[in-house]
Chain A
Amino acid sequence: MIKRTSFILLFSLAIVATIFAVRFFFQTKPMASNKKERPVHTYNVNKGEINGHRVVGLPPGRPKEEIKNIKVANTPSPEWKENLEKTLKAQGGNSLKEVILNKVDSFVWSHEGVSLFVESVIVTLKNDKNSETTFKVLVDAETGKILKNWDQPVIDPANPRQSFRVKLDPRYHAD
């Protein structure tokens, strides 16, 4: 009797353990709490660099030792370029003929409480009329998400009256 009870107890425990093990290995966590192992960073205090990238965003004069306390949140991925191009094409639509991305710098940007590996990129776009425009963006080196955008062109038309304007919907002032 005791043997049978022990067997049932052990068997039940084994089943419970199996269920927990299966749950542990195959559970799907919600997006918000997903974590990914981040590579260990190497710090070069003298050069003020992390993984060979200099740190930008620490106010000038801040001790270089502070760099050791920085934990960079993202991991650079070559996909940033493709994603950036997709973002630009999504905005440019059919009028966008060509996208040229010229990476000019990579660094760690310590900004608004978060440090990220970023790429500084000069974007050149050609539209369907063969006109070019050039400007700069700072993007997340992992996702390609645009964080800042500057150095836009100053365009001077011969006739400012022909500049791009959009008409308000006539339903607003139908009377």
Chain B
Amino acid sequence: MKVVRQRMTNKLLKNRAPLWKLLLSIPLLGMLTSCNPTELTAKNAQSNVISNDGSFDGKAYVYKDSPFILGGPNYSPSGVSMAKFTDRKAELITTNTRLTGNCEMMFFSFNISIPDCIHALSKESGTTTPLPRNADRTFIFSPDSPEFYQVNALYHVSQATQTFLKKLGYAYEQAQLVVPYGEARSIPYYLMNSKLFWFKAMSSSDRRLFNTDFLTTYAQCDLDGNASFSAAGPTLCFGGISQFPGFYFVQDPSVIYHEFAHAMVSILLNLRNGTNAASYHPLRSNMGTYGYDEAGSINEGIADYFSFIMNKRERFAEFALGKTFNQSRPISESDSLHSIPGIEETSTGRLAYPQYLLYDPNHPDEAMEDVHYAGQIVSHYMVALTKNLKYECGYNSDKDGGHDRATSVVMLLLSETLSELGDLYARGVDDYYSPLTAKINGSDVFFNNLNYNNSYLWTHFNNPITYRRFFQTFAKNINKYVSYFSPVSPRTGLCPSFDKNKSERLLDDYGLLLFKTYNDNGTSTTSRSITYSTAVPGMVHPAAPTAVSENNRRKSILISKQLIQLSTRTDENPSRVGFYIVDNSTDMEGILQNLLYKGFTVPISKNVAGTEYNNNNIKISPGEIIAVIPNLQNNSNSTMGGVQILATDWDHVHIPSDKLKTGNFKPCVVDTVTTVDQGAEAGGSCTSTETDFTRLIQNPLTEQFPAAAVAPVCMVLLEEGESSKWVSQNEYRTKQGLSLLDKDCLGYSTNTTSDKDFAFNPHECLVRFLPGANSAFFSKIDSQKTYYESVLKDNGGSFNMGNAMIMEVNKWIPPGTKFRCRLRARFSNCSDCYTDGSNGNDDYIDAEYNGHKPFKVINFDFDVND
């Protein structure tokens, strides 16, 4: 059997190897060439043919790093030849006979393996069968060939997978070790059975969740200018850049690690979402939407950090992003890419939130709202935490400087945090033995994300993963797993010397001490009087939430929600605008197409609205589909970060008991804008907040609407004689000479005229924010400025899709009709959006996010006119 061996012809010279290496290599080269026939392969690769005595089985020559690292910073991304950079030692690619990898994870001493968990292919349009190994039982292919890149992709994805599963195994063990002390933990003990540590979950039923039961890597996919991770595949995709022929993202292993980390985040978020094939949740948690948001930013920051875990370098994508578009990203303050004076690894020099949310280190004067830039705060914090752990815990005396141990601890914290936040079973933690069955008096009890049925809505919209929610949970886990020390408890944390104060100060250095307590008292989602310990006798948790030491809060400034409002025109600022409208058909069609390409469907109504009605008069007209960009204003003296505005249904109406046939409601008095005189209700069901999320749709069996429900945000002004009152759109459509049938309403969808649409909500018959595009996110608003003045103005007035909500307007609306949409706003560094000061600064329980208390109500008033 012969092995064709490639190696670089000029590597030693180009890498400026020391003289002694050159001298040593001469006799070695001589030996190799004298023993074996040598053949020249394509693209200057030199090959030696040697015998494979079995020691080359499943092996190939791979590049261990990018051309920037191996070839020097001047290596061009045009006409890349990786033959120069392949390692001299053959590496095991896989023991399988095809280009697939195997996964295994240790659960204490139990080894659970999943064969063929990774596949490498060339591109989506190519074959779906992984390459077989060569006749010589190796995976050695000509450098720069499609096969070569598939081999390298599998090698690096396998390396990342092994690192991830090893660290998750460590996290699993550490999490289970707290159980005997009665403490809650999030990584579930049944992970071994569910196999949700990988995409091949639930044995034969996994096809219900994914297209395939393995992670496919497309080494050279048809995606120009991008690399991506798709959870539905699941697939990793590494494209090229058309303006740099010969360049592929796969040539930079740090990009492979980054994309793999998105897959890792997807796994960790869903660790708890099933125990076996019969019990998986039908939905899965994700982080990130179609534009800017904080969940997406955290996801990017974690992905950059994972690159650091893999290669120990404090800069990401030097070659793939740096050499193509000057977009390489630093991962610590000590990296030389930071050119702004004062950025350094000191308390005052950290990349702090929200100041650096728009910071592009390569263009520090050109602020830009993007998840990748905002994510740098997360990656920098995590690297700083890793360094702190190495030093404080004495890991730095390890052979590797403590890198492995410190990053394992950070991965433990990440795993616990993400599995809790993404839990669609809405428990967040397990009891000792029966993880999903906590009941009080026969009723189900939930501890995060409201409840089983609405958990997706909660963790993605109503109480989403933001810098505040993520770092509050992350910090809680530092206290539990790292800092914990009690003179009366036999348990100690992994590193008590990195104590709560040090943890809080580091978070504060990054402006991330955005919470007042750790929310660790285990309250249920619907009642403060029900806690972990009432659900599971013997479970230990503080009676009151552990408070942050306010002395440690120096940079993390919290602001009252009363200081945010819709921008208004004043004499001083005559050009201020409250809401920007996009109603030209070309832009709107582009927006809708872009959303779809990013995987976000918006159910456009049939026959009663469409972009063909758009008239580009920057007003709201019948039949249009428009984008609405709220322009919020910060009246405080500090910067607001993570501003979110919601147009999702919420509990702001009272449904009189005699209106259950129609569901017609009276709006509740929630502010000074909509009053009793205008038809609002101050009593009745308005005095409390619903603990469940029930939409205002008709029950097809009873033909009644619920007596208490969340309602669409937009009401309409009904003018009858002298009086005017705000009413439901369902009430209005039967009055004012309209008599609109269901089929003439927005959102009505059936096959035939005799079928009914059981998901149809008649209370959004006239105008509605489209599901899937009914919330908007804004990175930050500077002190005493509007969002436009803080961010958009410097970008030439361009907004990203995360800033926009999409609204449909029924073509049958009479011109002049007045609407009021009650939107809800909050932000991450808000002092009173998460707690109202009562209950010892304990966070609001999840049910309260159904109402107005955690938000500032923003009234969007408009007329519909031709």
Contact = CB atoms under 8 A, between A and B. Distances in A.
Contacts of A88: 596, 601
Given A62-B444, A96-B593, A125-B597, A166 B582 contact: yes
8 contacts: A60-B279, A132-B221, A145-B759, A153-B231, A155-B226, A158-B320, A164-B590, A165-B799
B596 A92 contact: yes
Interface in B727-776: 741-743, 749-751, 753-759, 772
Interface in A43-77: 54, 56-57, 59-62, 71, 73-74, 77
Contact of B699 (A61, A114, A167): A114
A130 interface: yes
Given A31-B743, A31-B753, A143-B757, 7 more contacts: A34-B754, A36-B755, A135-B232, A145-B749, A152-B598, A172-B797, A175-B575
Interface stretch (B173-181, B282-290, B395-403): B282-290
B580 A107 contact: no
Interface of A: 30-32, 34, 36, 54, 56-57, 59-62, 71, 73-74, 77, 79, 83, 87-88, 90-93, 95-96, 102, 104-105, 107, 109-114, 116, 120, 122-125, 127, 129-138, 140, 142-173, 175
A57 B796 contact: no
Interface string B206-217: 011111000000
B262 interface: yes
Interface in B602-624: 602-604, 618
Contact of A155 (B228, B582, B627): B228
A167 B797 contact: yes
B592 A93 contact: yes
Binding site of A, secondary structure by majority: helix, strand, loop or mixed?
mixed
B758 A73 contact: yes
B224 interface: yes
B431 interface: no
A144 B755 CA distance: 12
Contacts of A147: 759
B798 A32 contact: no
B459 to A, nearest CB: 11
A109 B701 contact: no
Contacts of A129: 222, 224
B299 interface: yes
Contacts of A116: 758-759
Contact of A158 (B327, B694, B804): B327
A112 B226 contact: no
B798 A60 contact: no
A61 B618 contact: no
B618 A169 contact: yes
Interface size classification for chain B: 35 or more
Nearest to A95: B593
B621 to A, nearest CB: 14
B71 interface: no
A164 B440 CA distance: 49
Contacts of A131: 222-224, 597
A165 B225 contact: no
B801 interface: yes
Contacts of B865: none
A151 B372 contact: no
Nearest to B699: A113
Contact of A34 (B224, B360, B444, B756): B756
* Max chain A C-beta neighbours (<10 A), residue from B223, B581, B591: B223
A26 B397 CA distance: 90
B190 interface: no
A77 B749 CA distance: 14
Given A95-B593, A138-B282, A165 B795 contact: yes
Contacts of A160: 327, 360, 368, 370-373
Given A132-B124, A160-B373, A149 B800 contact: no
A102 B370 CA distance: 32
Nearest to A157: B226
B324 interface: yes
B52 interface: no
A122 B750 contact: no
Given A120-B282, A154-B288, A173 B797 contact: yes
A173 B797 CA distance: 9
A125 B232 CA distance: 12
| 7 closest residue pairs by CB, A with B | A152-B599, A135-B599, A159-B325, A165-B798, A61-B437, A151-B231, A153-B230
A116 B125 CA distance: 36
Contacts of A95: 593, 597
Contact of A156 (B228, B589, B694): B228
Given A61-B437, A163-B800, A114 B324 contact: no
A149 B470 CA distance: 23
Contacts of B279: 60
Given A113-B694, A140-B758, A162 B593 contact: no
A142 B259 contact: no
A148 B368 CA distance: 31
